[in-house]
Structure 1
Amino acid sequence: MKVDQKGHTVTIRDTQGDFTSFLMKVTHQYKTFEKHNIIIDLLMHNDLSTNDIKLFMPLSKQHKKAKKSFVIVTSDFDYNAVPAKLTVVPSLLEAHDIIEMEEIERDLGF
């Protein structure tokens, strides 16, 4: 697991290729990242199902309650199959754009 911090955003990247252990590490170390916006980089996984992505739902809900952004990045995925409560995008650039927009919305009181 590789963690990059840039300003108020933390990008967490899986370096092992084991989705289950990555999810457990992120969940265990969540307290370390809870005060930042989080990008979960799953670009190295090409075979993720909708159910795999849904496993991040509890973390996403908890993080959004704390008024922070939680974005998952994965390619080759059916983005329409993901629940509306999860933000899933195909690129890191889009993830940063989403976070920027959500920050502006929070600043404006939405």
Structure 2
Amino acid sequence: MKVEQKGHTTIIKDTLGQTAEFLMKVTHEHNTYKNSNLILDLTHDKNLSLEDVKSFTELIKLHKKQKKSIVLVTDNVNFNAVPKSIILVPTILEAHDIIEMEEIERDLGF
């Protein structure tokens, strides 16, 4: 797991390609990141499935209660099959763009 801070966003990269372990670590350390927008980079896991992505649902709900954004990054999953409650994009750049838009929406009171 590699952690990088960029402004008001924390990027956490799964370096092992073991999504279940990565999810456990991030969930366990959530208090460390709860005041920051999160980008969870899952691109290292080439066997990532839709079910793996759905396993992040509880963490996403927990993080959104803090009025912060959380975006998953991978290009191995069919984006049309992902539930609307999960924000999934293919690149880190797009994840930053989504967070920026959500920050603006929160500032405007949406």
Instruction: Deviation per CA, 1:31-50: give whole Å up to 9, x if none.
Output: 10000000000011121111
Q: 5+ unaligned residues in a row in structure 1: which ranges?
A: none
CA RMSD of aligned residues (A): 0.8
How far apart are residue 58 of structure 1 and its match?
Answer: 0.5
Instruction: Deviation per CA, 1:20-67: give whole Å up to 9, x if none.
Output: 211111111011000000000001112111110011101101111211
**Which residue in the other structure is 2:86 paired with?**
86
In 1, Cα distance between the equivalents of 2:35 and 2:108? 20
In 2, Cα distance between the equivalents of 1:52 and 1:62? 17
Number of aligned residue pairs: 110
Q: 5+ unaligned residues in a row in structure 2: which ranges?
A: none
Instruction: Deviation per CA, 1:75-105: give whole Å up to 9, x if none.
Output: 1320111110000000000000000000000
Q: Is the 8 A contact 2:4 2:10 kept in 1?
A: yes
**Which residue in the other structure is 1:30 paired with?**
30
In 1, Cα distance between the equivalents of 2:74 and 2:62? 21
Q: TM-score, normalised by structure 2?
A: 0.96
